[in-house]
Amino acid sequence: MALSGGPDSTALLHLLSELASCLDLHLEAAHFDHQVRVGSGADGTWAKEVATRLGIPCHVGAPAIPPVVKQASLRDARYLWLSGLVRDRKADRLAIGHHADDQAETVLFRLMRGTDLRGLAGVPARRGPIVRPLLPFRRRSLSAYLEGLGVPWIDDPSNADRRWVRVRLRTEVIPEMERLAPGTVDTLVALGEAAARARDLNERAGAWLLDESAVEPARPGRLELCRASLTRGGSEILAVALRRVARAGGVALTAGGTRAGVEFISEGRSGGRVNLGGGLEISREYDRVIIRREGAEPVPDVLPVREHTGAGTLRIGERALQVRWKPVAGQLPPPERIAVAVSPGHYPLMFRGWRDGDRIRLAGGTRKLKKLFGDRRIPVSERARLPVLADRSGNILWVEGLATAETDCGSRGDYSLLEFELRYE
């Protein structure tokens, strides 16, 4: 458990010490010296003595590099050390002495700065290994408990430093609010609890929305969602769903990134894309929304066809494609195979992924593949999965599932039919 030496953590130390035997707890204390004021080392010595008298080991740590003297920086340095100690000691829990007054202060502080339900919910009773057993109790109750035991505690001078906004809230604003409206602390705590319930409800709704919108089958490195289903959830639940996706990928979306994602899903055009931050990218392909890490799509390989007979493997999108080819002998191949008319001037042929600017000759003239894909409503991500066969000049002779090029082989005798057999792994 974290032991600063103040009344909250000292009370927690004694309470857990009394419960250790009946709950089968192995209890250890941890004191972090921020080293930002003269004489702070004495607090660590005091904490170690208090813990030792109870038969509890106490670890004392300090920052490797002095942190910036800001409350957020000091807190980050403290939790970094505590987290490392939890790992080293193979501890199941890290108990923190936050109480109801701390919770009320947190809710008010975040409300003043501007927040949403997640911030308004305050600090949770448990998050990962961190637990806060004292959240139901007021500061005055903890002090009275220690006074009844005759146990002293340390008053950290920084807790009275009016440079910090939270100190002024604690010592000036909240007491004045209590004078004007008795029960303010309890009201703020209740507000945080209500916000936490609403937040949890939104999280469940966001998870349900993702499940309902998921497009099967799933593909590696990307999430495909039905836009029509997503937008039915409304902007608030859609924001929750986006943050869930980002967290699963190890990314904490900023408010700006979340807002950009919601606006793009609601209003973005097909073919567009937006960077959400943290390496996440969101794009739209007709009625599909695709979320992936930037650069996650593999670069297509190229398989040269230099002779009339042969075999080889290439990778299109995330799929490996085995190709065998030989001249057509006698009757045309079955429908599951491909027959393409080629001439000696076409060699070497190339099996590859399509490229911007590719064109194919059809009965009505040549057309760009991009236009052909659009007419057939082929999503951008699917286009990257379609192999094409090109001649030495880059003219497209065949596109999987869409078209085979027109030739004038009826008037010339140098064309022959090649049969291709394709198999995906």
Both 57 and 161 in one domain: the answer is yes
Pairwise pLDDT comparison (350 vs 409), residue with the higher score: 350
Same domain, 276 and 328: no
The total domain count for the chain is: 3
Amino acid at position 226, single letter? C
Do 51 and 156 belong together in one domain?
A: yes
Please provide the DSSP assignment of 309-352 as one string.
SEEEEEEETTEEEEEEEEE--SSPPPTTSEEEEE-GGGPSEEEE
Residue 405 has pLDDT above 90, yes or no: no
Same domain, 126 and 255: no
User: Considering the domain boundaries, does residue 321 fall inside one?
Assistant: yes
User: Which of these three, 242, 275, 293, is where a domain ends?
Assistant: 293
Q: Which domain holds residue 335?
A: 303-424
Q: Is residue 120 domain-shared with residue 168, that is, in the same domain?
A: yes
pLDDT at 26 over 90: yes
Weakest-pLDDT range from 41-55, 178-192, 225-239, 338-352? 338-352
Q: Which of 135, 158, 193 is the last residue of a domain?
A: 193
Q: Are residues 106 and 141 in the same domain?
A: yes
Whether residue 37 is found in the same domain as residue 163:
yes
411: confidence class by pLDDT, cuts 50, 70, 90: very low
* Per-residue model confidence as pLDDT tens digits over 106-119: 999 999 999 889 89
Tell me what the mean pLDDT of segment 329-339 comes to: 68
Residue 334 lies in a domain: yes
Phi then psi dihedrals of residue 167, to 5 deg? -65, -40
- Asked whether the whole model's pTM tops 0.75, one would answer no
- For residue 263, the domain's CATH number is 3.30.465
- Dist CA 119 CA 39 (whole Å): 35
Q: Report yes or no on 1 lying in a domain.
A: no
Per residue in 282-296, pLDDT (tens digit) is 988 888 898 988 765
Mean pLDDT computed over 380-407: 86
- The DSSP line for 44-63 is HHHHHHHHHHTT--EEEE--
- Residue at 344 is within a domain: yes
**Residue 164 predicted with pLDDT over 70:** yes
Residue 219 and residue 181 in one domain: no
Q: Of 253, 269, 293, at which residue does a domain stop?
A: 293
Closest CA to 303 of 279, 285, 276, 321: 321
8 sits in which H/E element: helix 7-23
- Asked whether residue 206 is domain-assigned, the answer is no
The 8-class DSSP code of residue 395 comes to -
Three-state DSSP class for 149?
helix
Q: Note whether 224 and 289 are within 8 A (CB).
A: yes
